[in-house]
Amino acid sequence: MAALMRARSEKRAARRAGETGRRVEYLAFGLAGETYAVQIAHVAEILRFPPITTVPRAPETVLGVISVRGKLVTVVDLRRRFALPPAVVDRKSRILLCDVGTGEQIGLLVDDVQQVWRLASEEIEPAHVLGGEQASHVAGIGRPTASEGALLILLDLRPILESP
Amino acid sequence: MAEGGGGRGETSDKAREEFFSEAQELVDGLGRDLLGLDEGVKAGRVDPELINDVFRGVHTLKGLSGLFGATRMAVLSHELEDVLDDLRLGRIDVTPAVLDLLFQAVTLYAQLLAAQSGEAPEPEREVEDLLLAIGQLSQRRSGGGAGVVAHYELDPGLLGVLTEYEEHRLRANIQQGLALYRIRARFSLTTIDSSLDEIKRQARPLGEIVTYLPTGSGADADTIDLEILMASRASLQTLQQAIVGPDLVIEDVARRVDPSVRPARASAAARVASAETAVVPAEAGATSAAPPPDNGSVRSFVEPPAGPKKDSLAATPGPPAAAGSLRGPGLTRELSLRSASQTVRVDIRKLDRLMTIVGELAIVKTAIARLTDRVRRRAADPRELSIELARLNRTFERHLAQMQSGILEVRMVPLGQAFDKLARIVRQISREHDKEVHLVVTGADTELDKLIVEELSDPLMHMIRNAIDHGIEPRDERLRVGKPPVGTIALNAFQKGNHVVIEVEDDGRGMDHGALVAAAVRRGMVSTDEAKELTQGEMLALVFMPGFTTKEVATDLSGRGVGLDVAKTNIGKLGGVVDITSDVGIGTKMTITLPITLAIIHVLLVEIGAHLFAVPLASVEEAIVLHEDQVRTVEARELLTVRGTSLPICRLARLFGLPPADRDRHGPFVVIARVGARRLGFVVDELVGQQDIVIKPLGKSLKGVRGFAGATELGDQRIALVIDVAALIEEVLMPGEVRFLAAADDSGRTSVALDARRRIGRA
Would you state the pLDDT for residue B157? 62
* Interface contact B699-A53, CB threshold 8 A: no
Q: Which amino acid is at B677?
A: A
When CB atoms are compared, the residue of A72, A76, A102 closest to B698 is A72
Q: Of all helices (H) and strands (E), which one includes residue B414?
A: strand B412-414
Chain A residues touching B721 at Cβ < 8 A? 53, 55-56
Distances (CA, A) of B654 to B608, B639, B682, B763: 10, 16, 11, 7
Gap from B651 CA to chain A (nearest CA, Å): 14
Residue pair B123/B113 in contact (Cβ under 8 Å)? The answer is no
* Interface contact B717-A103, CB threshold 8 A: no
Residue pair B531/B520 in contact (Cβ under 8 Å)? The answer is yes
The total of other beta-carbon atoms located within 10 Å of residue B310's CB is 20
Would you state the pLDDT for residue B18? 75
Strand partners for A23: A120
CATH class of B415-595: alpha beta
Distances (CA, A) of B410 to B235, B371, B484, B495, B600: 48, 34, 43, 18, 14
Gap from B497 CA to chain A (nearest CA, Å): 30
Q: CB within 8 A of B18, min separation 6: which ones?
A: none
* Interface contact B701-A70, CB threshold 8 A: no
Backbone φ and ψ of B532, nearest 5° = -70, -25
- CA dist B703 and B353 (Å) reads 40
What's the number of domains chain A is made of? 1
Residue pair B611/B652 in contact (Cβ under 8 Å)? The answer is no
Select from A83, A87, A80 the least CA-distant residue to A61: A80
Q: CB within 8 A of B361, min separation 6: which ones?
A: B396, B399, B400, B403
- CA dist B542 and B737 (Å) reads 8
Would you state the pLDDT for residue A13? 53
- Alpha helix ranges (H) inside B558-614: 564-573
B382 touches A: beta carbon within 8 Å = no
Q: Of all helices (H) and strands (E), which one includes residue B183?
A: strand B179-188
Overall residue count recorded for chain B in this entry: 763
What ipTM goes with this model? 0.80
When CB atoms are compared, the residue of B612, B657, B711 closest to A65 is B711
* Interface contact A74-B611, CB threshold 8 A: no
Chain A residues touching B710 at Cβ < 8 A? 72
The single-letter DSSP state of residue B561 is S
Domain holding A18: CATH number? 2.40.50.180
C-alpha dihedral over B30, B31, B36, B40, to 10 degrees? Answer: 90
- CA dist B250 and B180 (Å) reads 11
**How far is Cα of residue B396 from the mean position of the Cα atoms in its chain?**
37
Q: Is A158 exposed, middle or buried (0-12, 13-18, 19+ CB in 10 A)?
A: middle
Q: Which domain holds residue A113?
A: 2-162
Residues of chain B with pLDDT under 50: 1-11, 143-146, 258-334, 553-561, 737-763
| Domain boundaries defined on chain B | 2-144, 148-294, 348-412, 415-595, 600-762
B720 touches A: beta carbon within 8 Å = yes
- CA dist B757 and B707 (Å) reads 12
Distances (CA, A) of B75 to B70, B78, B109, B132, B134: 9, 5, 11, 12, 12
Got the DSSP string for B599-664? SEEEEEEEEETTEEEEEEGGGEEEEEE--GGG-EEETTEEEEEETTEEEEEEEHHHHHTPPPPSS-
Chain A residues touching B655 at Cβ < 8 A? 56
- CA dist A104 and B441 (Å) reads 43
Taking only Cα atoms into account, the Rg of chain A, rounded to an integer number of angstroms, comes to: 19
- CA dist B35 and A69 (Å) reads 51
Q: Of all helices (H) and strands (E), which one includes residue B687?
A: strand B686-694
Residue pair B574/B449 in contact (Cβ under 8 Å)? The answer is no
The per-residue pLDDT of chain A, averaged, comes to 83
- CA dist A107 and A34 (Å) reads 20
SS3 content of chain B, % helix, strand, coil (to 5): 50, 20, 30
A37: pLDDT strictly greater than 60: yes
* Interface contact B705-A55, CB threshold 8 A: yes
* Interface contact B719-A65, CB threshold 8 A: yes
Mark B388-405 as b/e (b = at least 16 C-beta within 10 Å). beeebeeebeebeebbee
- CA dist B246 and B229 (Å) reads 18
Would you state the pLDDT for residue B160? 63
Size of interface A-B (CB pairs under 8 A): 71
Chain B residues touching A57 at Cβ < 8 A? 656-657, 705-707, 760
- A96 against B763, higher pLDDT: A96
Would you state the pLDDT for residue B295? 39
Would you state the pLDDT for residue B673? 92
- CA dist B543 and B638 (Å) reads 29
Residue pair B443/B492 in contact (Cβ under 8 Å)? The answer is yes
Taking only Cα atoms into account, the Rg of chain B, rounded to an integer number of angstroms, comes to: 32
Residue pair B239/B250 in contact (Cβ under 8 Å)? The answer is yes
Backbone φ and ψ of B473, nearest 5° = -80, 160
When CB atoms are compared, the residue of B656, B697, B713 closest to A57 is B656
Mark B467-477 as b/e (b = at least 16 C-beta within 10 Å). bbbbbbbebee
Q: Do domains B415-595 and B600-762 have the same CATH topology?
A: no
Select from A143, A115, A118 the least CA-distant residue to A24: A118
Chain B residues touching A164 at Cβ < 8 A? 701
Q: Are strands A138-142 and A152-155 parallel, antiparallel or unpaired?
A: antiparallel
Select from B556, B431, B472, B488 the least CA-distant residue to B34: B431
* Interface contact A58-B720, CB threshold 8 A: no
Full 3-state SS string of chain A: CHHHHHHHHHHHHHHHHHHHCCEEEEEEEEECCEEEEEEHHHEEEEEECCCCECCCCCCCCEEEEEEECCEEEEEEEHHHHCCCCCCCCCCCCEEEEECCCCCCCEEEEECEEEEEEEEEHHHEEEHHHHCCCCCCCEEEEECCCCCCCCCEEEECHHHHHHCC
The CATH fold of domain B2-144: Four Helix Bundle (Hemerythrin (Met), subunit A) (1.20.120)
Would you state the pLDDT for residue B760? 33
Backbone φ and ψ of B136, nearest 5° = -65, -35
The single-letter DSSP state of residue B696 is B
Among A55, A81, A98, A106, which would you mutate to test the B interface (most chain B Cβ atoms within 10 Å of its Cβ)?
A55
Q: Report the sign of the C-alpha dihedral through residues B446, B541, B731, B459, in that order.
A: negative
∠ CA B86-B337-A103 to the nearest 5 degrees?
A: 145
Residues B440-463: tens digit of each pLDDT: 999 888 888 888 888 888 888 888
Q: Peptide bond before B668: cis, by omega within 30 degrees of 0?
A: yes
∠ CA B532-B533-B538 to the nearest 5 degrees?
A: 105
Overall residue count recorded for chain A in this entry: 164
* Interface contact B701-A74, CB threshold 8 A: yes
Strand partners for B311: none
The single-letter DSSP state of residue B206 is T
Residues B582-611: tens digit of each pLDDT: 888 888 999 998 877 666 678 999 999 888
Q: Which of the following CATH numbers is that of domain B600-762: 1.10.8.60, 3.40.50.150, 2.40.50.180, 3.40.50.10310?
A: 2.40.50.180
Chain B residues touching A106 at Cβ < 8 A? 699, 701
Select from B641, B670, B447, B465 the least CA-distant residue to B567: B465
